[in-house]
Amino acid sequence: MDMAVAISELMTQHHQECDGYFASAENAVAQGKWDEAAALFDQFENALILHLRREEDILFPAFETETGQTGGPTQMMRMEHEQMKALTQNLKSACAARDKDGYLGNSETLLVLMQQHNMKEEQILYPMMDRALDANADTLVSEVTSLD
Amino acid sequence: MAEHEYLLDVSQLEPPEPLQKALSALDELQAGQYIRLLHRRNPELLYPLLEKRGYAFHTFRTKEPAFEVLIWKKTDQEADTRCQALIKQAWDIKKKKAEAKDTPKLSFEQAPPISIPFRFFLMAPVFGFVAAMVLLFAGPESMDSRWTPEAVSAVHFMVLGFSTMTMIGAMMQILPVVIGTIIPKSRLVSNIVFGLYVPGVVFLGSAFLFRKDILFNSAATFLGLAFSVFIVVVLHTMFTSGVRTSASRAIKLAVISLAVTVAMGVVMVAIFGAHGGVAKHLFATIHLGWGLVGWTGLLIIGVSFQVVPMFQITPQYPIWIRQWLPISLVYLLVLWSLVTYFHQYLDGKNMIYYLSGLLILLLTGLYSINTLILQKQRRRKIPDVTVSFWQLAMVSAILGIVLTAVNIISPETGEYYLLELVIGIVVISGVMQSVINGMLYKIMPFLVWFHLQAKQTTPGVLPNMKEIIRGRRMWIQYWLHLGSITGLAGTVFYPELLFYPAVTLFAASMLLLWANMMTAVWTYQKTVQR
């Protein structure tokens, strides 16, 4: 790594990466290119699950230890992660069944859920993390990037 | 308190007196009693001695004197309970203080109850329909100029009854996402605002039609109160949240502009009542500038900083737009308002009048073009009715801006009445209604889904967003809406031919919007009952 990257910066970039995979998979489904869609969906799912693990396994516990808040914002974010995973499972089945309407209806729902969630993280939670975890930000960033 | 507490103040004494006093106090201690020792230094020499004699202690740092030490006998159960309670109490206070300091406060309370935004949303097309009826019953003459009683009435039913109605409901909803906190006592606030606002809109709309002072005064009272509560609560919540993003800044400025717009409206009622001449037109023009560019424009701009890049998956707005455009618009509005008001005393219009007006148009125009460019680069390519509504709004905005520029520069000929009407239609229906309409088709199905899954106790399949409001029905309403804007704008030039079909189309679009919204409500109720 060259320069130090802020946690918020890194995680926001990762959100956008996930968005990109999400849109590509959805476009392929809309065009009925199911083989391509299946591959793109896998890419999206992997990126999403990795992102959630980076938060739940590394960043959230560090934030909770540092601030003593365990029942607050991170708990709410974990709940929304579960909802996102459930919708992603719906997408997976729709993709396997080649059910276009089912996929697009669920992807619309997931997109709105995911983005209002990301907004809260990017606008509020990540900046708080940057401040609270300032001292060991570098270690956390390298832990996060090495997780796969 | 006093009986259990042995207060010993040694803060004024010189060593070794404090230590001696403390130790001799131990002998006087009765069962259930503890010592509160006030000291100006941390009595470190005392602690090992206490330890040796079987006493427990806890030290607080305080302001004056610097240290307070609780001392109690370890074996004394009663004293121990008391001291532990005191320690916990002090700890809680400290924690609360720390939390209060740790801005931004973050609760992420999910969302207010679904009935709060929905009551505002569902009223909006009703008032839109009323606006259509006002025009329809008055006939084509109602659109002779923008100053006819029916035109002014219909405009207020639209901007207050349709647009601002939805925007208030949406603000209650989006604050948790934008600043991480919910409006305090959201149910109470919403009941008060909604209860005052709806009759206020009815009073104002009818006041213009019937020209009665009592109606104007009731409107000013009801709307003034409703807006005061809303504005104070929202600004207070936003300013204390500590979150400062480009979106939240623009939204704050929008709410401040709303305050200016409302104040001007109330002042007009107070000064002129049902009458008034040229001065009233000047006030009205300034009122309109703050309402359209300030309140509506800045709110759309602020919301778009978040919504466009994230929900349509586009690149970000350039930094200069996010940082500087909203605040510049507010400064320009202030300048423009002053010259607009005072140029009646000057000979001819002065340079600042033209400059401030044109700069406002230039900035809003650049914003609109930028939004269209971003949407062109969107990664989510599938047809999306909300994106189409946004694009329609931005194209309308550019058209409205060009026409307004022509209106400002060109000398006032007989034709300018027509131009003003077209601008009004393009801005109110083309820009405001389109954005709101499009956003409703994302917000409402999502909220239904969101609240359903929060309520869900037994696992089962929930309807997805496209099953909550069907895509095809939304597209039909989009085309009705587009047809009605085009028709209404055409009515200005061919009133006899187009007036009735265009206004009917407008009413139909409102009805279908309402019906589409109701399918969301029905789906919600049906699923909850299941």
Residues B174 and B124 reside in one and the same domain = yes
Do the chains contact at B464 and A109, CB–CB below 8 Å?
Answer: yes
Contact B229, B191 (CB under 8 A): no
Residues B74 and B161 reside in one and the same domain = no
Q: What percent of chain A has pLDDT over 90?
A: 53
Number of domains in chain B: 3
Burial label, B199 (beta-carbon count in 10 A; 0-12, 13-18, 19+): middle
Structural domain ending residue among the three candidates B224, B243, B262: B243
Residues B412 and B520 reside in one and the same domain = yes
Residues B64 and B82 reside in one and the same domain = yes
Which pLDDT does position B28 carry in this prediction?
A: 86
Written as tens digits, the pLDDT of chain B (530 aa) is 457 888 888 888 888 888 888 888 888 888 889 999 988 888 888 888 888 888 988 888 776 677 888 999 888 888 888 888 888 887 777 666 655 544 444 445 567 888 999 999 999 999 999 999 999 999 998 888 888 889 999 999 999 999 999 999 999 888 877 777 778 888 899 999 999 999 999 999 999 999 888 999 999 999 999 999 999 999 999 888 877 888 999 999 999 999 999 999 998 888 877 665 555 778 888 999 999 999 999 999 999 998 899 888 999 999 999 999 999 999 999 999 998 888 766 666 678 888 899 999 999 999 999 999 999 999 898 999 999 999 999 999 999 999 999 988 876 665 667 888 999 999 999 999 999 999 999 999 999 998 888 777 655 678 889 989 998 999 999 999 999 999 999 999 898 899 999 999 999 999 999 999 999 999 999 888 87
Chain A nearest-CA distance from B144, in A, is 44
Distance CA A76, CA B450 (A): 14
CATH of A7-141 among 1.20.120.290, 3.50.30.30, 3.10.180.10, 3.40.1120.10: 1.20.120.290
Residues B416 and B500 reside in one and the same domain = yes
Q: Looking at the complex, does the CB of residue B432 fall below 8 Å from at least one CB of chain A?
A: no
Question: Which residue in this structure is represented by tokens 């907004």?
Answer: A119
Which pLDDT does position B413 carry in this prediction?
A: 60
- Map out the domains of chain A as residue ranges: 7-141
Is B126 a domain residue? yes
Q: Calculate mean pLDDT across residues A106-115.
A: 92
Is B351 a domain residue? no
Q: Quote the domain boundaries for residue B41.
A: 5-101
Structural domain ending residue among the three candidates B43, B77, B101: B101
Contact B368, B309 (CB under 8 A): no
Which pLDDT does position A30 carry in this prediction?
A: 93
Do the chains contact at A119 and B467, CB–CB below 8 Å?
Answer: no
Which pLDDT does position B392 carry in this prediction?
A: 97
Distance CA B428, CA B160 (A): 11
- Residue A3 CB coordination number (10 Å): 4
Residues B214 and B129 reside in one and the same domain = yes
Q: Looking at the complex, does the CB of residue B1 fall below 8 Å from at least one CB of chain A?
A: no
Is B44 a domain residue? yes
Distance CA B180, CA B190 (A): 19
Higher pLDDT among residues B349 and A23, named by residue: A23
Residues B35 and B146 reside in one and the same domain = no
Do the chains contact at A23 and B379, CB–CB below 8 Å?
Answer: yes
Distance CA A101, CA B467 (A): 9
Peptide bond into B65 cis (omega under 30): yes
Q: Looking at the complex, does the CB of residue B354 fall below 8 Å from at least one CB of chain A?
A: no
Give the helix, strand, coil percentages of chain B, each rounded to 5: 75, 5, 20
Q: Looking at the complex, does the CB of residue A94 fall below 8 Å from at least one CB of chain B?
A: no
Q: Looking at the complex, does the CB of residue B249 fall below 8 Å from at least one CB of chain A?
A: no
Neighboring chain A residues of B91 at a CB cutoff of 8 Å: none
Neighboring chain A residues of B445 at a CB cutoff of 8 Å: 109
Do the chains contact at B108 and A119, CB–CB below 8 Å?
Answer: no
| DSSP-derived pairing of the beta strands B55-61 and B5-9 | unpaired
Neighboring chain B residues of A72 at a CB cutoff of 8 Å: 106-108
Neighboring chain B residues of A108 at a CB cutoff of 8 Å: 464-466
Predicted confidence (pLDDT) at residue A123 exceeds the cutoff of 80:
yes
Which pLDDT does position B84 carry in this prediction?
A: 87
Distance CA B87, CA B59 (A): 9
Neighboring chain B residues of A20 at a CB cutoff of 8 Å: 313, 379
Q: Looking at the complex, does the CB of residue B442 fall below 8 Å from at least one CB of chain A?
A: yes
Residues B451 and B518 reside in one and the same domain = yes
Q: For residue B64, give the CATH number of its domain.
A: 3.30.110.40
Chain A nearest-CA distance from B442, in A, is 8
Tokens of B295: 């309140």
Tell me how far the alpha carbon of residue B452 is from its chain's centroid: 25
Residues B91 and B183 reside in one and the same domain = no
Contact B83, B73 (CB under 8 A): no
Contact A41, A89 (CB under 8 A): no
Residues B86 and B152 reside in one and the same domain = no
Q: Which of B255, B284, B260, B258 is nearest to B272 (CA)?
A: B284
Neighboring chain B residues of A102 at a CB cutoff of 8 Å: 464
Which pLDDT does position A107 carry in this prediction?
A: 94
Do the chains contact at B310 and A115, CB–CB below 8 Å?
Answer: yes
Is B269 a domain residue? no
Residues B65 and B82 reside in one and the same domain = yes
Do the chains contact at B464 and A106, CB–CB below 8 Å?
Answer: yes
Q: Looking at the complex, does the CB of residue B464 fall below 8 Å from at least one CB of chain A?
A: yes
Predicted confidence (pLDDT) at residue A3 exceeds the cutoff of 70:
no
> If you measure CA to CA, which chain B residue comes closest to A31?
B382
Structural domain ending residue among the three candidates B58, B83, B101: B101
Q: Calculate mean pLDDT across residues A112-129.
A: 88
Contact A18, A52 (CB under 8 A): no
Residues B407 and B505 reside in one and the same domain = yes
Distance CA B445, CA B118 (A): 11
Q: DSSP assignment of B305-347, as one string?
A: HHHHHHHTT-PPPPHHHHHHHHHHHHHHHHHHHHHHHHGGGSS
Distance CA B365, CA B404 (A): 11
Q: Which of B232, B249, B329, B321 is nearest to B289 (CA)?
A: B329
Q: Is the ipTM of this complex over 0.90?
A: no
Neighboring chain B residues of A83 at a CB cutoff of 8 Å: 453
